[in-house]
């Protein structure tokens, strides 16, 4: 049978590594491009533990056209490339405000370079990692893909908007792409084997890595950022999706792209359900039978009150839906933390 390679930039990262596993499970041959700027070579061993062989890997800085060309020459010589999934980017909102150029250089630079080299090799299918941050606080929730894009609140958010625009412009050009822009809500959890998961570097800003570290007594109790919002329990509402469900949406997206020619479609990827911070704490305690140490604190600047996805479009067009519950995700997150804690 013909090998169907899929190039995965940032494939050693959190969402990328889980997607590599699901691509393998679906019969694709994933090829990872990463420079470990926010990950670790051990992730490749974790992937190998799950899929049973070392994944194909090229150490490449995706902002370097020269390095990308070298890798693409080798990859295309090995066989057909079905598509590219472009995860490689920096993602810390706060850091992007402190070091905007770092974000513009890496996030815009890697997307520009990848698109250029992709065109040189006439590879058509392109999957881009975007974010629900492009919506800001939407007027209507659940939010669907027709909601307006708001002025970005951070350089990180702006890089996602700019890359989306870049892909749309290329799609409208003389050499169009076949692309999907995936707006992720809040990915959480880890592979149930605990062989791969999220590697928070330094002080975690996101809720779940902080929560699991607090439960593991590696950090002070969790501070709930604001309990006076206009929500049923006063805490912010988000759409938390198991990272494996998110990974599987990329596989579904590639299948859909293979039936298209010059698509450029945006999809929300979430569960369609909103969960408050206090509900997350309760769900974690239910799933794991352990108390979460926490205190109520003041609001975090820049947080939107409530956002969750309308995922009708992804369900209908991609024939995809979530398989895991929030308890599954929190059980897997804790299992992963226990492994990290023990390391």
Catalytic residues: 156
The verdict on 300 binding ligand UDP (CB under 6 A) reads yes
Counting beta carbons within 10 angstroms of the beta carbon of residue 319, is it exposed (0 to 12), middle (13 to 18) or buried (19 or more)? exposed
* Residue 67 or 154 with smaller CB distance to ligand UDP: 154
Among 5, 125, 129, 178, which residue sits at the site for ligand NAD (rule: CB under 6 A)? 129
Shortest Cβ distance from residue 325 to ligand NAD (Å)? Answer: 19
DSSP assignment of 193-237:
TSSS-----SS--SHHHHHHHHHTTSSSPEEEE-S-SSSTTSS-E
User: Do residues 113 and 62 lie in contact, with contact meaning Cβ atoms separated by under 8 Å?
Assistant: yes
The verdict on 267 binding ligand NAD (CB under 6 A) reads no
HSE-CB for 173 with a 13 A CA cutoff? 13
Helix (H, G, I), strand (E, B) or coil at 297: strand
The window from 82-90, 118-126, 268-276, 286-294 that contacts ligand NAD (CB under 6 A) reads 82-90
* Residue 120 or 233 with smaller CB distance to ligand UDP: 233
Among 75, 84, 89, 281, which residue sits at the site for ligand NAD (rule: CB under 6 A)? 89
What residue number has its CB nearest to ligand NAD? 13
> What mask of x and - would describe binding to ligand UDP in positions 232 to 271, judged by CB under 6 A?
----x-x---------------------------------
Among 22, 34, 82, 332, which residue sits at the site for ligand NAD (rule: CB under 6 A)? 34
The verdict on 91 binding ligand NAD (CB under 6 A) reads yes
Strand order, beta sheet including 5-9 = 56-59, 29-34, 5-9, 81-86, 125-131, 178-184, 264-269
Q: How many residues bind ligand NAD (CB under 6 A)?
A: 27
Among 206, 231, 260, 321, which residue sits at the site for ligand UDP (rule: CB under 6 A)? 206
Q: Which of 117, 118, 147 is nearest to 133 (CA)?
A: 147
Among 129, 186, 212, 248, which residue sits at the site for ligand UDP (rule: CB under 6 A)? 186
User: 3-class secondary structure for 65-120?
Assistant: HHHHHHHHHHHHHHCCEEEEEECCCCCCHHHHHHCHHHHHHHHHHHHHHHHHHHHH
Residues that bind ligand NAD (CB under 6 A): 10, 12-16, 34-39, 60-63, 87-89, 91, 106, 110, 129, 131, 184, 186-187
């Amino acid at each position: 049978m013909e090998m169907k390679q899929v190039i995965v930039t940032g494939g050693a990262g959190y969402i990328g590594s889980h997607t590599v596993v699901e691509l393998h499970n679906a019969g694709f041959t994933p090829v990872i491009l990463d420079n470990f700027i926010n990950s670790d070579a051990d992730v490749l061993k974790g992937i190998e533990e799950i899929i049973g062989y070392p994944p194909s890997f090229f150490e490449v800085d995706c902002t370097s056209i020269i390095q990308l060309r070298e890798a693409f020459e080798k990859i295309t010589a090995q066989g057909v490339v079905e598509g590219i999934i472009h995860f490689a980017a920096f993602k810390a909102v706060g850091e992007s405000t402190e070091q905007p150029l770092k974000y513009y250089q890496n996030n815009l630079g890697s997307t520009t370079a990848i698109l250029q080299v992709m065109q040189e090799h006439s590879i058509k299918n392109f999957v881009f990692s975007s974010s629900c941050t492009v919506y800001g606080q939407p007027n209507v929730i659940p939010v669907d893909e027709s909601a307006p894009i708001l002025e970005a609140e951070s350089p990180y958010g702006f890089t996602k908007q700019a890359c989306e625009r870049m892909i749309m412009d290329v799609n409208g050009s003389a050499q169009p792409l076949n692309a999907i822009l995936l707006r992720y809500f809040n990915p959480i959890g880890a592979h149930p084997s605990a062989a791969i998961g999220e590697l928070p570097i330094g002080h975690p800003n996101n809720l779940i890595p902080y929560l699991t570290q607090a439960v593991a007594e590696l950090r002070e109790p969790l501070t709930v950022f604001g309990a006076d919002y206009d929500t049923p329990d006063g805490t912010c509402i988000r759409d938390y999706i198991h990272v494996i469900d998110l990974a599987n949406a990329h596989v579904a997206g590639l299948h859909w792209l293979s039936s298209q020619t010059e698509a450029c479609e945006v999809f929300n990827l979430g569960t369609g359900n909103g969960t408050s911070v206090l509900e997350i704490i309760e769900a974690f305690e239910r799933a794991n039978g352990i108390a979460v140490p926490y205190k109520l604190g003041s609001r975090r600047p820049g947080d939107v009150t409530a956002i969750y996805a309308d995922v009708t479009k992804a369900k209908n067009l991609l024939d995809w839906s979530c398989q895991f519950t929030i308890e599954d995700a929190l059980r897997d997150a804790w299992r992963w933390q226990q492994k990290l804690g023990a390391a």
